[in-house]
Every structure is written in C-alpha cells, then in structure tokens.
Structure 1
Amino acid sequence: MTTLAQSQNRSVARFLADGVQSVRARYVAYKAVVAERRRITRELMTYSDDELAELGFSRLDIPAIATGTYRR
C-alpha cells in the first residue's frame, strides 16, 4: 500500500523531472538561435561594403540584423 509520503515524494520527483526537461528544452532552443545568428553574421560578413550598401545597410548593422532588432 502506498503511503501519503511516498505519493508526495513521487509527485515532487515528477515535478522536478518536468522542470529539468523544460530547462533542457529551452537551452537547446537557445543554442539553435545562437547558431542561426552566427550563421547569418558569418554570411553577411562575406559581402563587400558595396554589396551591403545595395541591400540598404552597412557593416555596423549586421549584429542588429542577426538578432532581428534591425529597423530601417
């Protein structure tokens, strides 16, 4: 027969396990966002200043473009 303490311990353990999974999922998502920002930055850095100007921005705008905060 399951005691109240055992039931509560299982509930706490499940709560903690769910929390760990949630933190891990957020970390994996964060790492994917960081990788995408690096990829965008790397690609834009290969453009010449003239090519960037044709697109309507300068090299100083690249970090804002990569993070999605760039505004014209």
Structure 2
Amino acid sequence: MAVAEALAKWEPRFELTNVEVAPSPDGAIILDLSGNYRPHALSGDVSTVTDEVRVVRVARGGADEWSLQT
C-alpha cells in the first residue's frame, strides 16, 4: 500500500496496476511494479498510453542498498 501511495503522490506519470514481491537467489527482495505510462500527467492530463505497459524492478540487497533495474 505504501508503494501505491508514494507513486500516486510523487510520480503521477506511472499508474500502478500490479505489484509482485519475490525473493531473489542471493537473498534480496525484489518488487516488480507494473503500470501504465501517463506522459502528460504532470500537466493534469491523466490519460494513459494503452499500448505501453511498463515494468520497474526494485531490488534490495543489504540494509540500505536499493537498486532500480529495468
């Protein structure tokens, strides 16, 4: 829920549709965030690009070691 709230507040160009949480073989936590791209959301136009679904992978390795993988 916190991920969805943060994205809605800080990144309106990404409309979250799904979150998957999984462990990786090295023990890290992986979040796969799927959603629709809304290129003009910052100007108030929240229409989506329907043929463009994006997946963002966020992995946590150590205590404060986050990385963004696409």
TM-score under structure 1 length normalisation? 0.22
Larger Rg: 1
Higher helix share: 1
Question: Which structure has more strand as a fraction of its residues?
Answer: 2
TM-score by length of 2: 0.23
